[in-house]
Structure 1
Amino acid sequence: MSEKRIVMSNALRKWLVMNGMSYTIFVYVGIFVNLFIWEQNRLIFDVAWFNLTVYVSWSFAFAAAAYLLSKRTVRLLLGISALSGGTAFCLLSFVQLDNRLVWIALVGVPVGLMYGFFSAAQNLSVSLSGTPAELGRYFTAAGSVQQVVTLVVPLLSAIVIHYFGYFSTFALMLLFFAFMLLYSAVMPGISLRAHAEPGEGSYVFRLFRDDLFRKPRIRWLAASNLAAGVFLQFQQLFLLIFTFSITENKFWIAGFNALYTAATLAALFLYRRLRLKDDTLLIAGAGLLSCGFLIVLVPAPAVLIVSNLLTAVGMFYFGAAWNTSQFKLIKPYPQSGQAKLLVWRETLICVTRIATLLVVLSVDDIGGPVFIGLIAASLLCLLAVPWFERRARRAGEGASEPAAEAGDSAVSS
């Protein structure tokens, strides 16, 4: 009986295939495009500026994608994502400008559009494609796919770059975008057209106006997302910076990445054996992340590697539990309500990601006062998320089922 309960729908299985292709691209971008930008001047500023432009365009793309989904299907969003990514790699291959900051921004904007449209298509579709039990299974399986891709792609990329240069890998990524574009045509034709409301374009503002101060569950979800954006961005960016500061050798970087991934796969094995509850997993992830953040106050190379190991495992546990918890809280809302909540969720996370990156622009070295302040802020936000999640669940237990509220569209007036 329990096995039937965790079998994923056909739509979710298709998303796993799409994730395999997209993660290949995303892993390459996350490591080697950042390394490509870092190598010229070896400045934290350059990498932070690239990521800042990515997340600014990501937030706008996600909101635009949700609007398009009220008129078209996820296939269009995936197609736009593939074309945006292809544009970024064409710019990397064929365009060079004297003004380096403008060139970095030109690359970062289409990368952000790629991420934004893809994450909108995935999140809005996944929330409509399975039960809470299926969603938990999906996020665990998607994490497994991501870890395998994360293990293989950097090693293969390092080999190709060593023998043929960066531009050969840019050409290979363009092939992946072509496959992604073709596969988008067979993805589930999920749309919110049947649930669209008049004046849909102002949904984010109506959500804030009508629900943030009226529904406790929405307030706690908002707080959780704002807090998460800070430490998610800190961990993601400085995992790269710590690795690049130790070595710029592609094989060593791929080897370190393989080490982090192997540790995460071991964590996945333990997760499946122990069958921990989401709350326990969330707290375990927060504990590992906290240890990883704190030990970098002693910035020796070996310590930085251990920090990356702890934060990689911690982020796997934390991400699996946190995403499952968030989608379970959103699932009871009607389809249009789920879409709007997911747009709002992504927007809030991007807001604090961007704020964190603005602070990172002033970080000159690891160990300075600004960096230590970022560690303190990240720790406070990290430890606050489990508490916010519990408060959101408790608020939801005392509320009526959103889908059944007469005359209430859940997230808009």
Structure 2
Amino acid sequence: MRRPNPHRFILAAVVATTIASEANAQTPPRVTDGVNVPYRSTSATDDASSIFVNPANLAFGPGPEARVTVVYAGEDAPLPVRGYSLDIGLPFWILATGLRVDWMDPSNASGAPFSLGPPGTELGQRYNWIRWANAIRLGEFASIGNTFAWSTSDAPILHGMFSVSSALTVRPNRFMSVAAVARDWNSPTSDGGLEVKPSADLAASFRPVGGRRLLELGLEGSYRSQTEDWVPSANAAVDIPYVGRLKVGASLLDPSEGQVVVATGLEVNLDALQLTGGALFGNALGVDGTGFIAGAAIRSFREKPHVPMTSSVVRLRLESTPGVREHVQVLRTLWQLADDREIDGLVLTLRASPADSLAHAEELVDAIELMKARGKKVMCHLEDASGTSLFVCSAADRIAINPAGGVRFAGLSTRYLYFGGLLEKLGVRADF
């Protein structure tokens, strides 16, 4: 099976930028847009915000995530960029689904249909979008997805729209990702008669440094059939060691007047928590020309690079060989430690044989292997090493022995007792 050729997508993005340079008016925003910032790449964003940015990318997400984003600009900002959003993404296996809510709060200067009223007294009309996305990953190099969106508002012109957007992302290798998103292809219409015509986003991202996330560069073009204009964009992201990721992006809304909106943001990774802070600026945001971005995400995974956190290590000490009940309790303790995200390692101190049978020893080995599979480090400290102790500790990352102790290893052995002849002489027959 031949892989899709990404060069057509790249060529389309370049053409989009060229056509946009010939535009002579600022391209108005899409009514169906949610809270978003230019540094979010259409082809490379894999977090929960892809529910709006590009639903196909949702299937590339590393795990479940909940994300909150806040974007604010001044009252004189002519763009309805202000608002809040909540994203919940749930990728599993090759499938993914997600729910997003946008609470849009346009400024008074946003213009119709975002602000209504007599000239000089316009008031921004609040409206909301509820989005549901689904995606499926086609192997390791491609994914498709759809987003279904519903609008609500007290203003009829912004209420009652139902929008459908579809997307395709292709990643032929670790150096490149290309994407195409067909937005509002069903031409949604509001209760007030406002019709939103389809638009299309084309994007390409590159990882020039060995295909790693260390540096990421992106080019995008958005075609708006409502005005027959192209909006070119560019974005970049770079890893900051021991902190997170720095992102920057810009969109050119009016080439003839140089109307630009630029966004910068820093994502700080703290274990499963990610905090985001940034700024909006540019002459496309009005006289003040500034705004801010804030956000937070709780995730089921850890992303690198991240701020080093204090490691927590548990010490488990066995003073004597555990019996059956004590052995079960030790296993349960090891299983709980394996699932505890706050624990980074275990020091297992053995002052006696850790098991009274080979079967129990094998169960302890399996429990230690489970901890290592969950990313925990395991160290064994032996007072006096027997064969069973060495067998159990062979699964650990490191073994230490007390200098005053010793190693007594004669190999593993089993013993069988035969009572058949004795029972026969005694006239006793076993019934089992």
Greater RCO (CA < 8 Å, at least 6 residues apart): 1
The higher radius of gyration belongs to: 2
Q: TM-score, normalised by structure 2?
A: 0.26
More strand by share: 2
More helix by share: 1
